[in-house]
Amino acid sequence: MADDAATGAGEVEPQDGREAAAPEQLHGHEVTRSHDQVVLHPAREQYPDLLKALHDDGFHTVVDLTCVDYLSHPGRAGLPAGLHTERFEVVVNLINHRRRERVRLRIQVPESDPQLPSAFELYPGTEAMEREAYDMFGVAFAGHPDLTRILMPEDWIGHPLRKDYDPGRIPVQFKGAPANR
Amino acid sequence: MTTTHDELSAAPVERTSEGAQELTSADVVAAAEGLRERGAVLRLSEADAAAIEPDQVAADETMIINMGPSHPSTHGVLRLMLELQGEMVLRCKPIIGYLHTGMERTGEELTYLQGPTNVTRMDYAAPLFTELAFSLTVERLLDIEVPERAVWIRMLMTEMNRISSHLLFMATNGMDLGAVSMMLYGWREREETLRFLQEVTGLRMNHNYIRPGGVAADLPDGWRDGVLRLLDMLPPRLQEYDTLLTQQPIWRERLQGIGVITAEECLALGVTGPILRSTGYSWDLRRDMPYLAFDQVDFDVVVGSYGDCFDRYAIRLAEMHESMKIIRQCLENMPKGDYRIQDKKVTPPPRARIDESMEALIHHFKIFTEGFKVPEGEAYVAVESPRGELGCYIVSDGTSTPYRMHVRAPSFVNLQSLPHLMHGGLVADGVAIISSVDPILGEVDR
């Protein structure tokens, strides 16, 4: 069933059947499988080194970088046992064109210090995606050359995709409401 | 949810101080900017990057102008800040967000069954692809397989949509470069393909046709005639475009050698689709990481060799022929059977059953009000849209709405190539370059 695969029971039966007991490793990180997709869970400090290793391994493109706010769903699925969870999770999808493989990184980012090293130097294509994650979630990327808002207006307050952001706050400006400018 | 409102509002929501989204003046950032724009991409050292930098011009010799957001050749509401020396573009910064409507947030409020109505509005020129990516991701989370016929209908419809999207490109590309007759022809043929899409889905655009579990409705009677009519009509028309444009000296003059990008730069920047293929890098998710039944059909991946605007035009023209090849195979191989999965958890009961069965009525009501629950988990599934890799990342918390729904929009990422493509060119070339990147701003801003 899908539930098994998602909650981790599916991990002990890897598709290739090579390893049954010890968890699969990739670049020194435990591999979990989410619906047949390879997921790694580096700590924040290990993230730049892992990116470097993956880049040398042929993962030349960061396809996608986004963030998830687990404020109202802290007990999420698919994490290896014993991993300390945090409120934010930055999700990075990489692709290896030669071997036609994908790998996904899920990095825990704490609410008290929402920042992560930028992947820009290795993967300049993350420029806009990191800006989007910053704009929408307020996760800062240290070393990003131009960390400004990208989708929201530059004087916007708050980060709209955070779960505690109340989207109903914006006054509706018709029906005779006094204009605010 | 167990979290109370107090807990939720405890987190700080403060004004950010990131500064204005502006192009800083050249004498402040010239070297750093050059390193950022080219050095990072080509992995050059600081000295190497400085070496390829053209002679620095004083700030008072340059001019910063805004192109857009309301400009006929920016395809909607794209704003470009250009730093010009005379008519040469030194730097360029795309500024987006004018069409941002929070669709990812909206996606968290809608059930999985309502989801396609939302995502279909992202890429409004190729709406079926976003629906497909969304549906495939939900099906991956549910661990269900849709019936054969639904798979082939999806292939037929998305390839038809690819043709209509590329025809739109042909039209706007012609318009941007002053080939107004091409614009009229492109719109005319696109309308014919949209008419077929309308016959099947009921709408010209924003179809909401591909849904988790299959498609919304079976192909109507006479669909084969509609497809055959298009397959008869299109090849001579495409031949006309070819005659009109491909060998035309003005057209070649405007496009060849303009906006050149290398495969290495494309990979570093995450650029996909026809732009990546124009550099000679043969990469198409339909062939390289097949989804649906693309491993069972025969088609070619068209690549260019120079990575310029002309290659991107020629690739899209040729891709329409490849799509027609796939459509022809869909015609021949269209299996019989059901057009959606018969899983009572996902599929509403047929309309006729509602009249005679109380349970069916309740079931119908529950599915359309509450939606179906999707097991906890997360998945990312990508498809090859006319613009590149279109991915959907969904996190489910076990309820009937996604906890997080993110769409990896190819136009959003491809726009990052604009500063590289436009560097050192003329403003008029910039128009050709924007056009050849073919961004859809609905998808860029979401």
CA distance A165 to chain B (A): 8
Q: Which of residues 359-398 of B touch A (CB under 8 A)?
A: 375-380, 382, 389, 391, 393, 395, 397
- Which residues, 6+ apart, have CB-to-CB distance to A33 below 8 Å? A5, A10, A11, A14, A15, A39
Q: B92 - beta bridge partners?
A: B82
* Cα separation, B436 vs B419, whole angstroms: 14
**Banded model confidence at residue B45, pLDDT cuts 50, 70, 90:** low
Q: How confident is the model at residue A172 (pLDDT cuts 50, 70, 90)?
A: low
Q: Which residue has the tokens 């899983």?
A: B343
DSSP letter for B242, please.
I
Cα nearest neighbour of B269 on chain A? A125
Q: Residue B159 contacts by C-beta under 8 Å, 6 or more apart in sequence?
A: B323, B324, B326, B327, B330
Which residues in chain A touch residue B16, judged by CB atoms under 8 angstroms apart?
138, 149, 156-157
Per-residue confidence (pLDDT) for residue B301, from 0 to 100: 92
Other Cβ atoms less than 10 A from the Cβ of B52: the count is: 11
pLDDT for the residue B367: 86
The token duo for B354 is: 């509602």
Q: How confident is the model at residue B347 (pLDDT cuts 50, 70, 90)?
A: confident
ipTM greater than 0.85? no
Name the 3-class secondary structure at A107.
strand
Residue B329 lies in a domain: yes
Q: Are B121 and B129 in contact (CB under 8 A)?
A: no
Any A CB within 8 A of B337 CB: no
Q: Are strands A115-117 and A140-142 parallel, antiparallel or unpaired?
A: parallel
Which residue in the block uniquely carries the two structure tokens 């939302």?
B118
Average pLDDT, chain B: 84
Mean pLDDT, rounded, for A67-85: 84
> What is the Cα–Cα distance from B385 to B102, expressed in whole angstroms?
22
- Identify the band that residue B2 occupies on the pLDDT scale cut at 50, 70 and 90: very low
Q: What is the mean pLDDT of chain A?
A: 80
Largest Cα separation within chain A, whole Å, is 69
Q: Which of A71, A121, A145 sits opposite B3 (nearest CB)?
A: A71
pLDDT recorded at residue B3: 39
- Residue B166: enclosing H or E segment and its boundaries? helix B148-176
Supply the pLDDT for residue A124.
86
Chain A residue with minimal CA distance to B271?
A125
pLDDT of amino acid A17: 44
Q: What is the pLDDT of residue A176?
A: 63
In the predicted model, what is the mean pLDDT of residues B260-265?
87
Question: How far lies B317's CA from each of A22, A92, A96, B165, in Å?
Answer: 52, 33, 28, 11
Question: Using an 8 Å Cβ cutoff, are B265 and B41 in contact?
Answer: yes
Task: Tell me which chain A residues have a C-beta less than 8 angstroms from the C-beta of B379.
Answer: 34-35, 37
Residue B80 pLDDT more than 90? Answer: no
B379 and A34 within 8 Å at the Cβ level: the answer is: yes
Cβ of B376 within 8 Å of Cβ of A129? The answer is: no
Q: Are B68 and B79 in contact, with CB atoms under 8 Å apart?
A: yes
pLDDT at B358 over 50: yes
Q: What is the pLDDT of residue A7?
A: 43
pLDDT at B54 over 60: no
What is the pLDDT averaged over residues B129-143? 92
Give the Cα separation of B302 and B317 in Å (integer).
Answer: 10
Per-residue pLDDT, averaged over B410-434, amounts to: 88
B380 CB neighbours in chain A (<8 A) are: 37, 64, 93, 102, 104
Cβ–Cβ gap A127/B416 under 8 Å? yes
Tell if the CB–CB gap between A73 and B397 is shorter than 8 Å: yes
Percentage, residues of chain B above pLDDT 70: 87
**Which of residues B39 and A51 earns the better pLDDT score?**
A51
Lowest pLDDT segment from A151-155, B46-50, B64-68, B353-357: B46-50
pLDDT of B370 reads 85
Q: Cα-flanking dihedrals φ and ψ of residue A75, to 5°?
A: -85, 70
Chain A contact present for B69, CB below 8 A = no
Domain of residue B406, CATH code: 1.10.645.10
pLDDT score, position A82: 78
Specify the DSSP element, H or E, that contains B67. strand B63-67
Which stretch of DSSP H or E encloses residue B390? Answer: strand B388-396
Q: Give residue B97's pLDDT.
A: 87
The per-residue pLDDT for range B282-318, each reduced to its tens digit, is 999 999 999 988 999 999 999 999 989 999 999 999 9
Q: Is the pLDDT of residue B323 over 90?
A: yes
Residue B228's pLDDT band, with cuts at 50, 70 and 90, is: very high
d(CA A79, CA A130): 23
B345 touches chain A (CB under 8 A): no
Specify if B321 maps to a domain: yes
Mean pLDDT of B402-411: 92
**Å between B143 CA and nearest CA of chain A:** 6
Please tell me which residue of chain B has the smallest CA distance to A145: B36
In angstroms, the CA A27 to CA A119 distance is: 18
Q: What is the pLDDT of residue B13?
A: 45
Please name the residues in contact with B257: beta carbons below 8 A apart, sequence gap of 6 or more.
Answer: B306, B308, B310
Query: Lowest-confidence range among B23-37, B156-170, B207-221, B399-413?
Result: B23-37
Domain count within chain B? 1
Integer Cα distance of B325 and B323 in angstroms: 5
Question: pLDDT at position B22, please?
Answer: 63
pLDDT above 50 for A4: no
Dig out the tokens for B59 from the structure. Answer: 């700030």
What pLDDT does residue B21 have? Answer: 58
List Cβ neighbours of A61 (8 Å cut-off, separation of 6 or more): A94, A95, A97, A123, A125, B267, B268, B270
Side-chain half-sphere CA neighbours of B19 within 13 A: 7
Residue B53 has a pLDDT of: 55
Q: Identify the residue with better confidence: A75 or B278.
A: B278
Q: Which domains does chain A have, with CATH numbers?
A: 24-169 (3.30.460.80)
Collapsing DSSP to helix, strand or coil, A109 comes out as: strand
The reported pLDDT for the residue numbered B416 is: 87
Between A and B, how many CB-CB pairs are < 8 A? Answer: 161
pLDDT score of B8: 41
| B245-259: pLDDT as tens digits | 888 899 998 899 888
Residue B109: inside a domain: yes
Q: How confident is the model at residue A171 (pLDDT cuts 50, 70, 90)?
A: low
Residue B14 domain-assigned (yes or no): no
Question: Sheet holding A101-109: strands in order across?
Answer: A25-26, A29-34, A37-40, A101-109, A88-96, A61-69
| pLDDT in the model for residue B200 | 92
Answer yes or no: is pLDDT of B27 > 80: no
Look up the domain containing B353 and give its range: 103-445
Reply yes or no on whether the pLDDT at B128 is more than 90. yes
pLDDT of residue B350: 80
Percent of chain B with pLDDT over 90: 38
The pLDDT value given to residue A156? 82
Interface contact B13-A91, CB threshold 8 A: no
Report helix, strand or coil for B338.
coil
Of the candidates B3, B97, B446, which has its C-beta nearest A72's C-beta?
B3
Kindly report the nearest CA distance between residue A30 and chain B, in angstroms.
17
> What is the pLDDT averaged over residues A159-179?
70
Kindly determine whether residue A104 and residue B380, on different chains, have CB atoms separated by under 8 Å.
yes
Task: Look up residue B239 and give its amino acid.
Answer: Q
